[in-house]
C-alpha cells in the first residue's frame, strides 16, 4: 500500500462507531511495532510524529521509513504530523509526502487561530492532505509545548461549530478534560460537553491525551463521537520498561539488536490492547 490520508479512515470510523488509534512514533523500531501489530489485528492505524520527533529522526529519514512500512503493509497507514505550530515546516513535510497534518494554533487568540489554520488548509487541499486543528487547550506537556493547569481551556461547543465551518478542517481535536502525559488522579471528562460538540459539528472528533485514561472512559468518549484516539506516553513507557528489564537481567549487554527486542515486545502488547480498546480490529 501507499501512505494514505487519514480523512477516509476517520470518516469510516465516524460512520461505524469506532476510533482509529494514533500512535506517536519516534524511530524505526516504534514504526515497525505499530505497523506489525496493526497488520496482525487488521486495523487501520495512524503514525504520528511531533516536531521533536521530526527533529530527532530527520523528516526525510522518517517519511521514507513510513513509505517503506506502507509498502509492505496490508492495512492502511496514515503518517500524521502531530501538534505542529510552524506553518512552513508543515508545508515542507507535505511536499515530502506527509498526507495528514495537525496545525496547532490553539494558544493564539481565536481569530488568529482561524487565520493560521485556514492558511494550512488552503495549502494542504492542493495535495489531498487531511488537516486537523485544536480548539481549546490541554493541560500538560507535548514535546516543548507546555500548558499549565491554570491555562487550560475546554472547547466551547458553539465556537467549535464556527471554527470548523470557517477553517474547513477535516477533524477537530477537542479539550474535554484530558491532558498530555500521565495523570496525578483520574481525569474528569466532560462527557456532556463532548455530546454538545458532536451534535454541532460534522467532522470527526479527536481525543488527545488518551494515555493513562481508564478504558471505560475512552470507550464512552468513542460512543459519544470520538473517531481518533492519540496514544503517546504509554508507548514510550512500554518501550523503555522492556529495555530496562533486559538490562537489569543482562547488565553487560551492548547489542541493540538484542536489548531493543524486549522493548518492542512490550510496545506490541500495548498497541494491540489499544486497538481492541478503539474497536478498530478487523476494520481495515
Q: Please give the annotated binding residues for dihydroxyacetone phosphate, written as ranges.
A: 181, 209-211, 230-233
CB atoms closer than 10 angstroms to residue 150: 6
Neighbouring residues of 111: CB distance < 8 A, sequence distance ≥ 6: none
Residues at the binding site are 83, 104, 134, 180-181, 208-211, 230-233
For residue 282, give every residue at least 6 positions away whose Cβ sits within 8 Å of its Cβ, in sequence order, or none: 41, 42, 43
Q: Which of 82, 143, 156, 170 is catalytic?
A: 82
Active-site residue, 82 included: yes
Residue appearing with cell numbers 506502507? 70
Phi, psi of 229 (to 5 degrees): -120, 120
Cell numbers for 208: 488527545
Q: What is the rounded radius of gyration, in angstroms, for the C-alpha atoms of the chain?
A: 18
Place of cell 481549546: 136
Annotated binding-site positions for Zn(2+): 83, 104, 134, 180, 208
Q: How far apart are alpha carbons 2 and 9 in whole angstroms?
A: 14
Residues with a catalytic annotation lie at 82
Amino acid at each position: 500500500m501507499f501512505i494514505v490520508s487519514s480523512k477516509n479512515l476517520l470518516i469510516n470510523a465516524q460512520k461505524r462507531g469506532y476510533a482509529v488509534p494514533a500512535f506517536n512514533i519516534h524511530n524505526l523500531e516504534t514504526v515497525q511495532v505499530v505497523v506489525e501489530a496493526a497488520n496482525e489485528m487488521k486495523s487501520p492505524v495512524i503514525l504520528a510524529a511531533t516536531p521533536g520527533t521530526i527533529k530527532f529522526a530527520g523528516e526525510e529519514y522518517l517519511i521514507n521509513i513510513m513509505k517503506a512500512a506502507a509498502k509492505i503493509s496490508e492495512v492502511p497507514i496514515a503518517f500524521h504530523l502531530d501538534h505542529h505550530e510552524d506553518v512552513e515546516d508543515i508545508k515542507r513535510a507535505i511536499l515530502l509526502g506527509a498526507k495528514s497534518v495537525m496545525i496547532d494554533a490553539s494558544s493564539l487568540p481565536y481569530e488568529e487561530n482561524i487565520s493560521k489554520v485556514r492558511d494550512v488548509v488552503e495549502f494542504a487541499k492542493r495535495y489531498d492532505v487531511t488537516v486537523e486543528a485544536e480548539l481549546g487547550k490541554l493541560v500538560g506537556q507535548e514535546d516543548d509545548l507546555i500548558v499549565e493547569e491554570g491555562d487550560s481551556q475546554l472547547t466551547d461547543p458553539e465556537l467549535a461549530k464556527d471554527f470548523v465551518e470557517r477553517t474547513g478542517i477535516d477533524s477537530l481535536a477537542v479539550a474535554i478534560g484530558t491532558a498530555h502525559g500521565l495523570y496525578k488522579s483520574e481525569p474528569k471528562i466532560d462527557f456532556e460537553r463532548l455530546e454538545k460538540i458532536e451534535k454541532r459539528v460534522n467532522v470527526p472528533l479527536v481525543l488527545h491525551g488518551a494515555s493513562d485514561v481508564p478504558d471505560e472512559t475512552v470507550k464512552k468518549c468513542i460512543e459519544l463521537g470520538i473517531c481518533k484516539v492519540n496514544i503517546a506516553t504509554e508507548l514510550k513507557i512500554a518501550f523503555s520498561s522492556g529495555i530496562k528489564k533486559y538490562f537489569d537481567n543482562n547488565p553487560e549487554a551492548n547489542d541493540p539488536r538484542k536489548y531493543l527486542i524486549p522493548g518492542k515486545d512490550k510496545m506490541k502488547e500495548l498497541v494491540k490492547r489499544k486497538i481492541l480498546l478503539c474497536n478498530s480490529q478487523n476494520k481495515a
